[in-house]
Structure 1
Amino acid sequence: MNEQERMLKDLLTGQKFEESDQLFQKLEESKEMARAYAVASNGIAVLSDFYENVSYIYSGLLGRTLGLDDFSKDATSSFEQDIFDKIPSEELLERHILELRFYRFLEANGIKDKSDYKMVSLIHFNQDNGFLMPVLHCTRYVRILPGGSVWLGLCTYVPFTDIPQGFEGCIINQRTGETIRSQQCEQYDIQLLSVRQLEVLTLLAKGEGSKQIAEKLCISVNTVSRHRQDILIRLNVTNTAAAVKIGLRMHLI
């Protein structure tokens, strides 16, 4: 699991969830929806329960071609790791970054009807014969709790051979057809860290040590150390090098 995937998982599973007597019924309805989609599209549908941190994977012909069972449940993760393992690492990274931006776009704009939107990207599956299969991947948040927390997400995968020139991942308002490009959501990346944390991370990227950073920002070395630790936590990484890599990749610095 890469840093962006860990960040995304912590973001979604760490939400505040409200209890409801109707959760079980709605979960069963959503499971049936995912199963029906996989069968009708001959693709793959993954229902992610961010409250219980569980995923339900339903396979049509595409899934069976890849060696997946008609149905499986991963009780250890709300993310479909068996499917992620079939995607080239750079494309998987792009997919996780796009969903991070998707989530922040919905939150930053105060969108209550999050299920009106979906995230669309083009990925490839590695096949045993060495060829890459183009696949259209969509993520939707299909169940939102009264407080606004995303409870259930639906990821779908279908073969996609007619690839438009210059196709890029995007966010689509399913009610209006409006398309929001990933680049338009980059402005929300900056909300991940505070202004001071961004200053510290920028200086770390330039090779500055804690003492040098303290002098330049007119703060104590202990304060710099605290900011460095907070940065690691917010980016969900274990070392400064990884933090700098994510900061650069997401244009935070």
Structure 2
Amino acid sequence: MIEQENELKSLLTEQPFEGIENTDLLLAQTRARAKGFALATEGIAVVSDFKNNECHIYAGRFGQTTMNLPQYTIDHNTAFENSIFSQTDENELIERHVLELRFFNFIKELPVKEKACFSASCILSFYKKESNERVKMLHTTRYFGYSSDGSVLFGLCTYIPYPVSYDRQDGIIFNVLTGEVVEREKYEASDRKILSQRQLEVLSLIAKGVSSKQIADNLNISVHTVNRHRQDILAALKVANTASAVEIALRMNII
């Protein structure tokens, strides 16, 4: 899972960031949102600076007492809250990976003026460091600061306790201005654009345990071409190996 997360992180930190003006002001505004959220809800808010690959973490009283976080910290080594992710259920992190991959690709196709109108939310389980007791949190992601070509400069992730009695809630994408939830069919249409038809054929055969030589014979292509498709599939799904690619593709219902 760590490798999958690293691949997804590179999708955000390796964007072209040209053409974004007033970046210092945008960062200050996003940090103010995060600090205000943590103070108002006693939860946690994280500003991910994708361009500079660093993050700002704000914690209210719940974040400080339950998650053992300082009131404010900055990590100059990563744009992502690894100290929080390390306390998360691994299977739910995979679901979050799928949701953010879907969210990024959904946002990518929107006009620039509409991109900041949407957010993605899911439920994550965290383990208290001292007691190993599970606590459910509502995790929400929004993006701020877009260039003319659609690159995003900042992410804002928030966490608040979510006292539910059931074990799972599917992630959703919704319009923060209207409250309307995006129908699954809409972003699943974006899912199907991530891989080409040939890549889907190759990945489907990989999922069935078919070797590269057999795939080449079945599709009447060379083994070299099969291997190239394998690498392109890993890059498109932001994973490190074909086993992870199959798992992500199955969860996204594209194979």
Same fold (TM over 0.5): yes
8 Å CA contact retained: 1:101, 1:182: no
1:150 Cα deviation after fit = 1.1
Structure 1, unaligned stretches of length 5 or more? none
Per mean C-alpha deviation after superposition, the further-off stretch among 62-71 and 22-31 is 22-31
> For 1:112 and 1:196, how far apart are their aligned partners in 2?
34
Q: Structure 1 runs of 4+ off > 4 angstroms?
A: 162-167, 181-184
Across the aligned residues of Structure 1 and Structure 2, the Cα RMSD in angstroms comes to 2.4
Could you tell me which residue of structure 1 aligns to residue 138 of structure 2?
136
- What is residue 197 of structure 2 aligned with on the other side? 195
Tell me by how many angstroms 1:238 deviates.
4.0
User: What are the equivalent positions in structure 2 for 1:141-180 lying under 5 Å apart?
Assistant: 141-161=143-163, 167-180=169-182
% identity of equivalent residues: 45
Deviation digits for residues 82-141 of structure 1, max 9, x if unmatched?
011111111122122111111212223446321111112222221232321122111111
Asked if the contact 1:47–1:153 (Cα under 8 Å) also holds between the matched residues in 2, the reply is: yes
CA distance, structure 2, for counterparts of residue 6 and residue 233 of structure 1: 12
Post-superposition CA distance 1:17-37 (Å, at most 9, x none): 125552112212322221122
What count of residue pairs does the alignment treat as equivalent? 253
Q: After TM superposition, give the deviation of residue 190 of structure 1 in Å.
A: 2.3
Native 8 Å contact 1:4 1:97 kept in 2:
no
Contact 2:98/2:251 (<8 A) preserved: no
Q: Which amino acid aligns with 1:136?
A: L
Equivalent-residue separation in structure 2 for 1:177 and 1:245 (angstroms): 31
- Alignment deviations for residues 131-181 of structure 1 (CA, whole Å, 9 cap, x no partner): 211221111113223332111111111122266897432111112221125
Query: Could you tell me how far apart the structure 2 residues matched to 1:123 and 1:110 are?
Result: 30
| Larger relative contact order (Cα-Cα within 8 Å, sequence gap ≥ 6) | 2
Aligned position for 2:27: 27
Alignment partner, residue 222 of structure 2: 220
Output the CA distance in 1 between the equivalents of 2:15 and 2:105: 13
* Pairing partner for 1:249 from 242, 248, 251: 251
2:46 paired residue number? 46
Contact 1:3 1:235 in 2 (8 A): no
Q: Which amino acid aligns with 2:82?
A: Q
Equivalent position of 2:76 in the other structure? 75
Note the alpha carbon deviations across 1:27-75, whole angstroms, 9 max, x for none.
1232222112211211111001111111110111022111111111111
SS of the equivalent of 1:36 reads helix
Cα separation, partners in 2 of 1:181 and 1:165, compared to 1, 3 Å: farther
Match of 1:112 in 2: 113
> How far is the alpha carbon of 1:14 from its aligned partner?
2.3
Residue 205 (structure 1) aligns with? 207
Distance apart, 1:233 and its partner CA: 3.0
Distance 2:222 2:59 in 1: 56
